[in-house]
Amino acid sequence: MKFSVGQTDQRTDARLGTLSTAHGQIETPAFMPVGTLGPVKGLEPQDLERLGFRLMLNNAYHLYLRPGHKVVAEMGGLHRFTGWPGAILTDSGGFQIFSLAKLCKITDDGVSFQSHLDGSTHFITPETAIEIEEALGADIIMAFDQCVALPAERDVVRDAVRRTTLWAERCQAGRRRTDQALFGIVQGGLDGELRTASARELVRLGFDGYAVGGLSVGESKAEMYAMLDVTVPELPAAKPRYLMGVGMPENLIEGVARGIDLFDCVVPSRHGRTGWLFTSFGRVVIKQARYLRDEQPIDPGCGCPVCARYSRAYLHHLYNVKEMLASRLNTIHNLWHFADFMRRMREAIAQGTFVEFRERFYLAQGRDAADAAAPAEGESGRGHHTDRDV
Task: Name the 3-class secondary structure at 189.
Answer: coil
Tell me, what amino acid is at 224?
A: M
Q: Which of 9, 47, 91, 389 is catalytic?
A: 91
CB of 299 closer than 8 Å to CB of 281: yes
List the one residue out of 197, 228, 200 whose CA is nearest residue 212: 228
Taking each helix axis from N to C terminus, what angle separates 324-351 and 312-320, rounded to the nearest 10 degrees? Answer: 130
Phi-psi region of 104 (alpha: psi -120 to 50; beta: other; left: phi over 0): beta
What single-letter DSSP state applies at residue 147?
Answer: P
Please confirm, yes or no, whether 261 is among the known catalytic residues.
no
Task: Name the 3-class secondary structure at 381.
Answer: coil
Tell me, what amino acid is at 134?
A: E
The 10 Å CB-count burial string (b at 16+, else e) for 130-144 is bbbbbbbbbbbbbbb
Cα dihedral sign for 175, 178, 183, 184? positive
Phi-psi region of 230 (alpha: psi -120 to 50; beta: other; left: phi over 0): alpha
Distance CA 365, CA 352 (A): 22
Distance CA 261, CA 11 (A): 17
15-21 sheet: strands from edge to edge: 2-8, 15-21, 24-28
Tell me, what amino acid is at 241?
A: R
Please state, as a whole number, how many other Cβ atoms lie within 10 Å of the Cβ of residue 41.
16
Distance CA 49, CA 26 (A): 12
What stretches of 78-136 show up as alpha helix (H) in DSSP?
Answer: 78-82, 94-100, 126-136
Please report how many Cα atoms fall inside a 13 Å half-sphere around the Cα of residue 160, on the Cβ side.
27
Residues in the chain: 390
Please confirm, yes or no, whether 368 is among the known catalytic residues.
no
Q: Which of 264, 299, 387, 389 is catalytic?
A: 264
Tell me, what amino acid is at 310?
A: Y
**Residues carrying an active site annotation:** 91, 264
